[in-house]
């Protein structure tokens, strides 16, 4: 109950009705008070960001370092894609560079001879300009080949598949030695933390409030932890409103696991009595009430206890009416 606006009003109403009774006085005059209307729905444990780790080049998956459930950090190597054609392309460019460098050495030697001849007046300036142009052309061809080699080498480096975010590996749809294409997903990584995603009927959309507290039950129906309604999405999907719940100690061993969540979708009036006022005999619960000058016991049907300001209270479904004077122990 802590965290709801009406919980504070509920505690105030109980204090006004019987401010001394909860402290151990003899009587409590029943009056209806507002309590939250709960709806139990299943929420799924999901990762905030599900980001695929994709292959940047095509080839054979030569190494796969992760499997489902592994924890990775952003930038970790997940797999390696091997493309044999890249090695052949680098070898071809290296051979081309050897030929260009040999041509460059010859052109520079021709240019040196031409400069020596122009000093003697044996050759023409036009011939010398042609030799200089030839040297510049070969030099630029070498620069272009070296740049092309850098591109191919970078393509080879891009064969390493990196984790896009820090988180848990959710799925690995490929196997070692499989052929993958550029852009194909190698692993799906869930990062950014985990949350509960709810899908509620759209009639409850106007009753949901961001920041409201929720209760998450365990497998036995008991409240195991509390959460906060962090985000309500404006788009209705198939007649349901989608909402995200933040839980501090959310179990993340199994992603997409369903947990039962109790969501406040409104308020209603109820009669509450302290659980200490109940007396159980032969499987029935009784409450002592004062009628005139006498004390009588009435059989009641109650709900599971709830805690209000540290006091265990139960809702009386049948057996008591507003205005009854309940005798407290």
Confidence band (pLDDT; 50, 70, 90) for 19? very low
- Given a cut of 80, whether residue 255 has pLDDT beyond it is yes
Encode burial over 286-300: b for 16+ CB neighbours within 10 A, e otherwise: bbbbeeeeeeeebeb
pLDDT at 222 (0 to 100): 62
Q: Quick one: what percent of the chain has pLDDT higher than 70? A: 91
* Average pLDDT score, the chain: 85
CB distance 270 to 32 below 8 Å: yes
What element of type H or E holds 1? none
DSSP state of 328: P
Query: Which residues, listed in sequence order, are joined to residue 286 by a DSSP beta bridge?
Result: 279, 299
Rounded mean pLDDT, 66-74: 93
Sorting pLDDT into bands at 50, 70 and 90, what band is 145?
Answer: very high
This prediction has a pTM of 0.65
Look at 271 and 265; give whichever has higher pLDDT.
Answer: 271
**Rounded mean pLDDT of 132-161?**
95
HEC secondary structure over 54-100: ECCCCEEEEEECCCCCCEECCCCEEEEEECHHHHHHHHHHHHHHHHH
Domains and CATH numbers, the chain: 1-32+271-329 (2.40.420.20), 50-83+161-190 (2.40.50.100), 85-157 (1.10.287)
Q: How much is the pLDDT for 57?
A: 93
Residue 37 to residues 3, 45, 79, 207, 268, Cα–Cα distance (Å): 15, 24, 51, 10, 6
β pairing state of 213-217 and 33-54 = unpaired
If we measure between CA atoms, which residue out of 87, 84, 90, 106 comes closest to residue 145?
90
pLDDT recorded at residue 9: 42
Confidence check: pLDDT of 119 > 90: no
Q: CA 181, 183, 189 angle in degrees (round to 5)?
A: 120
- How high is the pLDDT of residue 173? 94
Predicted confidence at residue 223, as pLDDT, reads 66
d(CA 278, CA 294): 18
Residue 61, beta-bridge partner list: 81
Q: What is the pLDDT of residue 74?
A: 93
What's the sign of the alpha-carbon dihedral 277, 280, 284, 290?
Answer: negative
pLDDT tier for residue 218 given thresholds of 50, 70 and 90: confident
* Top mean-pLDDT range of 76-85, 118-127, 199-208, 214-223: 76-85
DSSP letter assigned to residue 31: -
């Amino acid at each position: 109950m802590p965290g709801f606006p009406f919980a504070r009003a509920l505690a105030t109403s109980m204090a006004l009705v019987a401010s001394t009774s909860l402290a151990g006085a003899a009587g409590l005059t029943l009056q209806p008070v507002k309590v939250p209307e709960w709806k139990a729905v299943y929420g799924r444990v999901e990762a905030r960001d599900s980001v695929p780790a994709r292959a940047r080049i095509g080839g054979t998956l030569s190494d796969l370092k992760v499997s489902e459930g592994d924890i990775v950090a952003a930038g970790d190597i997940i797999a390696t894609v091997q493309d044999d054609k890249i090695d052949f392309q680098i070898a071809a460019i290296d051979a081309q560079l050897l030929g260009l460098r040999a041509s460059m050495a010859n052109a520079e030697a021709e240019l040196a001879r031409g400069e020596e001849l122009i000093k003697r007046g044996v050759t023409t300036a036009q011939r010398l300009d042609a030799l200089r142009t030839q040297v510049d052309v070969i030099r630029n061809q070498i620069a272009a080949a070296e740049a092309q080699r850098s591109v191919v080498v970078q393509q080879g480096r891009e064969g390493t598949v990196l984790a896009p975010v820090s988180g848990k590996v959710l799925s690995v749809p490929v196997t070692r030695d499989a052929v993958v294409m550029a852009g194909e997903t190698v692993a799906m990584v869930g990062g950014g933390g985990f949350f509960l995603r709810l899908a509620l009927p759209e009639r409850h959309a106007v009753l949901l409030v961001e920041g409201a507290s929720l209760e998450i039950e365990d497998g036995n129906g008991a409240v195991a932890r509390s959460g906060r309604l962090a985000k309500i999405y404006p788009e209705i999907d198939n007649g349901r409103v989608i909402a995200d719940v933040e839980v501090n100690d959310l179990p993340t061993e199994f992603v997409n696991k369903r947990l039962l969540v109790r969501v406040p979708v409104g308020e209603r009036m109820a009669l509450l009595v302290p659980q200490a006022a109940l007396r159980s005999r032969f499987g029935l619960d009784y409450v002592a009430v004062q009628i005139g000058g006498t004390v009588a016991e009435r059989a009641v049907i109650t709900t599971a206890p709830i805690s209000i300001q540290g006091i265990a209270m139960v809702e009386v479904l049948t057996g008591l009416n507003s205005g009854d004077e309940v005798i407290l122990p």
